[in-house]
Amino acid sequence: MRPTICTIGFAGKTAEEFFRLLEEGGVRTVIDVRENRIGQLSGYAKFPDIAFFLDRVGHIAYRYESGLAPTPEIRKRYRETKDWGGYESAFLGLMRERGFPDGFTLEDGGAVAFLCSEPGPERCHRRLLAELLAEQWRAQGEAAEIRHLVQMKQGRAAAKRRRKNDGTHLE
């Protein structure tokens, strides 16, 4: 039985929201697919802190796969043109060149989550990775479920009321 493939981005999420989404998703391993995992804007998701927090907060394993990140040239071209179709084509070509998903292995048991920075999966390479892997599994006659772990749309005030009502927020 193959694990569920999840995707998650840390941008726009508090640490509480991020780790709750992973927990609710049943994630047992986070696979970091960022080119730069030590960026100063990463906050709690900066390496090596993310590996420590995943282990301590959720007993979740951490794995870094730099070969699943886009090249700086692909990202730069997208920033200049905002052409998602071009980005997607270039990234999928890069993954073919690198041989993904052939030979890519995952541990059975629980969900895995591809981690990147983008808040949502719509225009992020982690979604493309999940789709490639799921497509390969389906071609092999295996089940493949993809879940994007995103924060439900709620304002900060609603989140604060929810925490206050469930006793996790004290003023």
Q: Tell me if 21 sits within 8 A of 151, measured CB to CB.
A: yes
Per-residue pLDDT tens for 126-160? 999 999 999 999 999 988 899 999 987 654 444 45
Tell me what pLDDT residue 84 has.
97
Q: Rounded distance, CA 42 to CA 44, Å? A: 6
Cis? peptide before 101, omega within 30° of 0: yes
Tell me what pLDDT residue 77 has.
97
Per-residue pLDDT tens for 46-76? 999 999 999 999 999 999 999 999 999 999 9
Domain boundaries, the chain: 5-165
Q: What's the rounded mean pLDDT across residues 3-27?
A: 95
What's the pTM value of the predicted model, to 2 decimals? 0.86
